[in-house]
Amino acid sequence: MKKKLTVAEDPAEMVPTDSTNEKQDEEAPLKAKRSKPEGADGEEVVYQPVKLSRSDLYRPPTAEELNQLKEAESLFHCSLLKMKMEELLKEVALRERRKQQIDSFIQTITKLLQAVPDSPEVEVSDLSWLSGAVKIPFLLVPKTSKGKFHMAPPASVDLIGSYPLGTCIKPRVMADLAVTIPADILHPKDVINQRYPRKRALYLAGLAQYLTSSSDIGTMRYSCLHGNRLRPVLLLTPPGKDSSSFTVRVHACPPPGFFKPSRFHPQRNNIRTEWYTGLQTSQSESSEPPTPHYNSSVLGDLLPRAHLQFLSAVSSQCSAFADGVALLKVWLRQRELDQGAGCFNGFLASMLLAYLLTTHRISNTMTAYQLLRNSLNFLASTDLTVNGISLAKDPDSTAPSLAEFHSAFQVVFVDPSGHLNMCADMTACTYKQLQHEASVSIQFWDNPTVDGFHALLMTPKPMIRTSDHVFQLCDLVKLQFSCKKLNLLSELMDHSGNYVQTVLPFILSLLQQGLGQRICLLTHSLSPDPEWSVESEAPKYKAQPPLSFGLLLRPELAASVLERGPPADSPKAAEFRQLWGFRSELRRFQDGAITEAVLWDGKSTCQKRLVPRQIITHLLQLHAALPDSCVRYVAAMVDDVIQIGNEVPSTGEEESLLVVQSYDDLSRKLWRLEGLPLSITSVQGAHPALRYTQVFPPQPLKLDYSFFDREKTQRSLVPKDGKPCPAYITPITVICHMEGSGKWPHDRLAIRHIRTAFHIKLGELLKKHHNYTCRPSPTHLDVWKDGLVFRIQVAYHREPQVLRESVNAEGLLVVRDNEEAQALEMATIHKPLLTSTLHGLQQQHPCFGAVCRLAKRWLGAQLFSEDITEDTADLLVASLFLQPAPFTPPGSPQVGFLRFLHLLSSFDWRNNPLIVNLNNHLTAADYTEIKNDFMASRESLPVMFIATPKDKKLSMWTKRAPCVQMLQRVVVVAAESLKVVERQLMDGTQMQDVRVAMRPPLDAYDVLIHLNPKQVPLLSQAVDPPTVTFSRGVVTSGLAQSGGALPVIDYNPVSLYLTELREAFGDLALFFCDPYGGTVIAVLWKPKAFIPAPFKTSQVSARRVEVRGEEVNTVPNVEAILEDFQVMGQGLVKSIEARTEKWSF
């Protein structure tokens, strides 16, 4: 048996590596067979338990089938991954039909190009031969240029790049066409002073001018290769409806070997200062600054054919090469690393694989999956910014050494010729980002509890959702001043005037230095390749979209207000002072040290969170002459919807802490109480405020007694009729377990009474020892303490068991689960446990609470809080922190909120359970078990299935809600909100109001009940707080006290009204309301209830009869119901808006 298994394993591993035709033939029919049944059930998207007929199941197996089954059994996960990869590759690969289209289009173009007519020779600076319809794709700065130019048919037209190599993938299909400029147009000295690049641009313009007259070409645009303005390209699309399906990119190249590669040594100068500045200088050629970037961009034009040959040779050795490159490209694309200036593009990906293959780090027989894995591993472990790599086997003597490359470039990856650094434009930060992504990906892949395939290849990672803080440099033209300030003339010459690319590395290193330990990664967006029509001038550098920078924070250090420098007398102090400028000052610390230090402003957590912003704006202003207005800091922009506090803006961290401290004090006092008949075994909080996730944490209140009526017997406060509804006081639930004892009765009613007795006793003791005002009732004890109300519930651990037991007719003691027992267990066991667990999570991740609050604020505002309850929302957010793949745990509330919306909108609830591994209690085996159980009984489980270590099979938090329809709506609204918020955050030109995502669309509802704001106690928490405010019996000055009359607790007319409405009309309609200050109740009729139903005594509530002969049907009595809305909400309801025009009955 053992031996058989290993034998079966081998072919599975080898299938893709074995490239003989025979093997492929064998696989083809197998695939066909597999796809057959799928065609039949292609439409239905429901998972149904497989039903095989008896004869199918028990027919004698053939040897081949037996092997296949064994393989599937032993390699299930491996083969599932294999199947997934195959499917993914199928999705991105070019179809045969598309290839034919491309081939034929390329043929037409080639034919056209070969017929380009000659033109008379003119000076390079003379552009008169170009008709007005076509412009030269080049920024002619400085204007003067020497040399002659004339048009001539190309020496040759060849396919280069990914298309002939077979590594071209969807989307953005590009076929590259190299057009060789005839040698007589060029001059060997043309490398100097941009003469060659200008001739190249002219040649392209000439081609474009000729092609405009052709009808075989759809659209024609200019672009430039990887944002490098020295290398413009011509983009051609086919005419007709295929125009968007692929693009042909025309490069102009010099004839191979036309320039000597040694001229492009990174230490050589090819742009003269005199020419560039237009000023007479006395510099000799040897003292001119080197121009490595210019050199490499010209050299890059010489080599594409050689590179293609090299890559084709490598790929013919390794059968999975193309697939491996495709996977790597998908991986890069999901991380936005494959496009723009200084990107790690598909070409580099192929070269990397080629490097790994030629250095035998990976073998030719590996599968695509293994290629991807190994290249990620290599990227994660190799730092190309320090130890560059080279593909050159035996470079000639003129080739520069690696050290020379390193001194000129930040990232070094040398091509097979040994002369070109293919990563010339890449910044160290981009490479570090790549490295970070690779190492994180490898970690996720090694973690058996993460769906690596989905996290690595299927999930996009846009910067706004990846980085904790994001900021943008808006006014790019201001970067010219930075160039001056930083004295970057020679670098600017090297980058041919591209001041953005010139300044970028300096800004990056400045920020890296200033932010230091606060961040673990600094990333920046890659400026996208500009595209413009052939009729317009090349766009200026300032026209490109703003540069975005992303920070990945270290949560424990990022918010520190103190930057402690070296001691005043140490030599490093000067450096520190230089960096921080006037903000640096000498400070004496408690340990006696006198050091240089910078102190940033920030009192509350929400202000401290923005310390990086202060640092960035200060440094940019000081060193790069970039004013405040240039920096658009995108963090904490959505936070103000949960902002409270009048003097110091706060997002609730401080308030929550106050509640928790008060609770800790109460719990200590409860433990110390003496004189109770049974001792207390545990005191646990069971309220979101005690785990920092209450949207608006309760604030200590001081009351204005004259505002209230008094209750006669106890002198407690009660709301006064006619006055605005008093401020809402949230009772904070605390569960207090009592010791088990034989004295507890074994009867549900008796237990209820004993608990009441405990409430009374606890109240008496708290009053006696601590003078707290208490109010005992059968279900709980309210304690008025520090301006807060705690609701203590005594619990007895055997009570759920007692509720489950009953004696049936035969006198048999049966144990039956029931809702009452479940609800009690939920309240006394699961909720306290969840609260303490999440409290722990908050200690690990300081922004957990804030993310929960933002998420719940959004749910409330979009009227979903009834369906996705507080506990569910907290669990969803917890999953973002516990299983962040492919991200790292959120480091700011905003990014957490965006990921929450993304989770809601993209998670496949139908086919997957969401597993929240609280406290890391679940092992990989548990995960499999949960998934298997889930698949086996999907239909009977809640639509939103959340498993936790204590609840692997039932998903108790989502059992009641949401239903399928509501979940669908949540998904749609979340996707839309995410889109809106991200667009607003990343696009500075748009109207800035992120609250748009918090305003629910009300046009979908049938009836709107408008409430009287006077009676809505939480009015000030509304998304758009109204300008009018009402006195609600609260004194703002003075400290909150503990004794005195009991305030009005838990009195909220809106929720009372909603309860009544739901109880009365729950089977006819759904009621939605924003619990945080909503002044509208939206009503949606249930369509089913409006179908006339036969008269039944059990179903006549709020219905009227329609008699037709002997048939009696009932329909809802809508007029009366609408009037009931008014009657039941007397005093609260302002108006009722019935949108009759929408009703379809």
Listing DSSP states for 57-74 in one string gives HHSPPPHHHHHHHHHHHH
The neighbour count for residue 21, using CB atoms within 10 Å, is 7
Shorter beta-carbon distance to other proteins: residue 481 or 1095: 1095
**274 vs 451, beta carbon nearer other proteins:** 451
Work out how close the CB of 1110 gets to other proteins at its nearest, in angstroms, rounded to a whole number.
5
Q: Which two tokens stand for residue 347?
A: 């070409």
811 lines the binding site for other proteins (CB under 8 A): yes
CA 366 to chain centre: 33
Whether 864 and 965 have beta carbons less than 8 Å apart is answered as no
Residues 886-925 touching other proteins, rule: CB under 8 A, are 908, 911
Among 18, 41, 118, 531, binds other proteins (CB under 8 A): 41
Q: Tell me the C-alpha distance between 865 and 695, whole Å.
A: 12
Rounded to an integer, what distance in angstroms lies between the CA atom of residue 1074 and that of residue 1009? 12
Window 727-766: residues binding other proteins (CB under 8 A): 745, 747, 749-750, 752-754, 756-757, 760, 763-764
Helix (H, G, I), strand (E, B) or coil at 717: strand
Q: What ranges in 818-953 are assigned the alpha helix state H?
A: 819-825, 831-844, 848-861, 870-882, 893-906, 924-936
Alpha helices in 585-640 (DSSP H): 605-608, 611-624
For the bound state, the minimum distance from the C-beta of residue 92 to other proteins, rounded and expressed in Å, comes to 7
Q: Which of residues 994-1023 bind other proteins (CB under 8 A)?
A: 1015
Residues 925-944 that bind other proteins (CB under 8 A): 935
Residue 807, classified by CB atoms within 10 Å of its CB into exposed (0-12), middle (13-18) or buried (19+), is exposed
| Among 396, 629, 1060, 1143, contact with other proteins (rule: CB under 8 A) | 1060
Non-local CB neighbours of 259 within 8 Å, separated by 6+ positions:
188, 190, 191, 196, 298, 299, 302
Please report how close the Cβ of residue 41 comes to other proteins at its closest, in angstroms.
7
E strands, 405-474, where? 413-414, 469-473
In the set 1, 20, 38, 1144, which binds other proteins (CB under 8 A)?
38
Q: Which of 47, 589, 705, 1145 binds other proteins (CB under 8 A)?
A: 47
**Which residue of 8, 16, 88, 498 would you call a contact of other proteins, by CB under 8 A?**
88
Instruction: Reduce the secondary structure of 485-521 to three states and give it as a string.
Output: HHCCHHHHHHCCCCHHHHHHHHHHHHHHHHHHHHEEE
Between 83 and 574, name the residue whose CB sits nearer to other proteins. Answer: 83
Smallest distance from the beta carbon of 1123 to other proteins, in angstroms?
5
Identify which of residues 980 and 1128 has a Cβ nearer to other proteins in the complex. Answer: 1128
3-state secondary structure of 599: strand
Instruction: Give the range of 158-166, 285-293, 452-460, 1135-1143 binding other proteins by CB under 8 A.
Output: 452-460
- Candidates 4, 31, 34, 769; binder of other proteins (CB under 8 A) is 34
- Could you tell me how many residues of this chain bind other proteins (CB under 8 A)? 110
d(CA 790, CA 793): 10
The DSSP bridge partners found for residue 791 are 733, 782
How many CB atoms lie under 10 A from the CB of residue 148? Answer: 13
81 is a contact residue toward other proteins (CB under 8 A): no
Q: In angstroms, give the least distance from the CB of 505 to other proteins.
A: 30
**Least distance CB 718 / other proteins (angstroms):** 5
Q: Which of 32, 63, 815, 1039 binds other proteins (CB under 8 A)?
A: 815
Nearest residue to 618 (alpha-carbon basis) of 577, 582, 587:
582
8 Å CB contact between 466 and 892: no
Choose between 58 and 582: whose C-beta lies nearer to other proteins. Answer: 58
Binding mask 1018-1057 for other proteins (x = CB under 8 A): ------------------------------x--x-x--xx
By the 8 A CB rule, do 428 and 411 touch?
yes
Q: Site for other proteins (CB under 8 A): which residue of 237, 295, 334, 482? A: 334
Binding mask 1097-1136 for other proteins (x = CB under 8 A): xx-xxxxxxxxx-xxx----x-xx-xxx--xxxxxxx---
Among 168, 320, 330, 794, indicate the residue that binds other proteins (CB under 8 A). Answer: 330
As a whole number of angstroms, the distance between CA 491 and CA 483 comes to: 9
The one segment of 30-38, 191-199, 374-382, 568-576 that binds other proteins by CB under 8 A:
30-38
127 scored as a contact of other proteins (CB under 8 A): no
User: Rule CB under 8 A: which of 775-794 touch other proteins?
Assistant: 775-778
**What is the C-alpha to C-alpha distance for residues 627 and 152, in angstroms, rounded to an integer?**
50
On the CB side of 646, how many CA atoms lie within 13 Å of its CA? Answer: 4
Q: Across the chain, which distance is largest between two alpha carbons, in Å?
A: 115
Min. distance of Cβ 794 from other proteins in angstroms?
Answer: 13
Q: Which is nearer to other proteins, 283 or 911 (CB)?
A: 911
Site residues (CB under 8 A) for other proteins, limited to 1081-1100: 1095, 1097-1098, 1100
| Paired strand residues for 156 | 180
**823 scored as a contact of other proteins (CB under 8 A):** no
Site for other proteins in 51-80 (CB under 8 A): 52, 56-58, 61, 66, 68-70, 72-73, 76, 80
Please list, residue by residue across 38-57, b when 16 or more beta carbons sit within 10 angstroms of its beta carbon and e when fewer do: eeeeeeeeeeeeeeeeeeee
Identified binder of other proteins from the candidate list 239, 448, 460, 677, rule CB under 8 A:
460
Minimum CB–partner distance for residue 906 and other proteins (Å)? 11
For 396, half-sphere exposure in the C-beta direction (CA atoms, 13 angstrom radius) is 8
> With respect to other proteins, which residue has the nearer C-beta, 754 or 930?
754
Residue placing its CB nearer to other proteins in the complex, 283 or 1101: 1101
Measured from the CB of residue 113, what is the shortest distance to other proteins in angstroms? 33
Shortest separation between residue 1132's beta carbon and other proteins, angstroms: 6
Smallest separation, CB 249 to other proteins (Å): 21
CB atoms within 10 A of CB 857: 23
Q: Please identify, using beta-carbon distances, which residue of 144 and 777 lies nearer to other proteins.
A: 777
- Give the interface segment with other proteins, choosing from 340-348, 455-463, 786-794, 991-999 (CB under 8 A): 455-463
Query: 368-381 and 428-446 are packed helices; what angle lies between their axes, rounded to 10 degrees?
Result: 130
- Chain positions 616 to 635 lying near other proteins, rule: CB under 8 A, are none
User: Rule CB under 8 A: which of 161-180 touch other proteins?
Assistant: 171
**Per-residue string for binding with other proteins, 468-507, x by CB under 8 A?**
----------------------------------------
Helices assigned H by DSSP within 957-1070: 964-986, 1053-1065
Distance (Å, rounded) from C-alpha 1119 to C-alpha 752? 43
- 721 lies in the site for other proteins, by CB under 8 A: yes
Stretch that binds other proteins, among 416-424, 454-462, 520-528, 1076-1084 (CB under 8 A): 454-462
Separation of alpha carbons 167 and 161, rounded Å: 9
Shortest Å distance, C-beta 986 to other proteins: 17
Q: Token pair for residue 113?
A: 């190009």
- Out of 216, 556, 711, 817, the residue judged to bind other proteins by CB under 8 A: 711
DSSP 8-state code for residue 1002: -
Shortest spacing between CB 86 and other proteins, in angstroms: 9
Residue 1066 backbone phi and psi in degrees, to 5: -55, -30
Nearer residue to other proteins within complex by CB, 776 or 787: 776
Of 7, 28, 141, 814, which lies in the binding site for other proteins, with binding defined by CB under 8 A? 814
Supply the angle between the helices 611-624 and 479-486 in degrees, to the nearest 10: 60
